């Protein structure tokens, strides 16, 4: 049983394209997150949603737009992709401030 799942696992695309990454959790958690891990493996939070409401938005370009259709899903849409967007994107979920559970990651490569 996959607790936090992401699709796709790999995404290769051209500069300027628009792409989406989907995330789903079956843990019944109320809070979901998106993180970016850069080429130096540094992990940094991008967004956090609690009960479908955006609660954290770190200085992320507005080309990135999270969407939470319900508490179990948090999708990430990226417009006009740039080379610097290449990274591994992780989705995570938690019950409030407790242990966060991470998805397997989506490796995005922008050519």
Partner 1 sequence: KQEVTQIPAALSVPEGENLVLNCSFTDSAIYNLQWFRQDPGKGLTSLLLIQSSQREQTSGRLNASLDKSSGRSTLYIAASQPGDSATYLCAVRTNSGGSNYKLTFGKGTLLTVNP
Q: Which residues bind partner 1 (CB under 8 A)?
A: 4, 40-45, 48, 50, 55-56, 58, 90, 92, 97-105
Q: How far is the CB of 66 from partner 1 (least distance, A)?
A: 14
CB nearer to partner 1: pick between 15 and 54? 54
Q: How far apart are CA 16 and CA 24, in angstroms?
A: 26
In the chain the beta strands, taken as DSSP E runs, fall at 4-7, 10-13, 19-25, 31-37, 43-50, 53-57, 64-70, 73-78, 87-94, 101-102, 106-110
CB nearer to partner 1: pick between 36 and 78? 36
CB nearer to partner 1: pick between 83 and 97? 97
Q: How far is the CB of 95 from partner 1 (least distance, A)?
A: 12
CB nearer to partner 1: pick between 18 and 25? 25
Name the nearest CA neighbour of 43 among 109, 94, 110, 102.
102
Q: How far is the CB of 53 from partner 1 (least distance, A)?
A: 10
Q: How far is the CB of 41 from partner 1 (least distance, A)?
A: 6
Q: How far apart are CA 26 and CA 72, in angstroms?
A: 7
Both structure tokens of 88: 């591994």
């Amino acid at each position: 049983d996959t607790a936090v799942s992401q699709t796709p696992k790999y995404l290769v695309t051209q500069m300027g394209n628009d792409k989406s990454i989907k995330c789903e959790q079956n843990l019944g958690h109320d809070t979901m997150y998106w993180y970016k891990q850069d080429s130096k493996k540094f992990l940094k939070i991008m967004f956090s949603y609690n009960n479908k409401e955006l609660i954290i938005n770190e200085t992320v370009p507005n080309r990135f737009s999270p969407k939470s259709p319900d508490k179990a899903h948090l999708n990430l849409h990226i417009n006009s992709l740039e080379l610097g967007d290449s990274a591994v994107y992780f989705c995570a979920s938690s019950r409030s401030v407790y242990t966060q559970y991470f998805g397997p990651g989506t490796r995005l490569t922008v050519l």
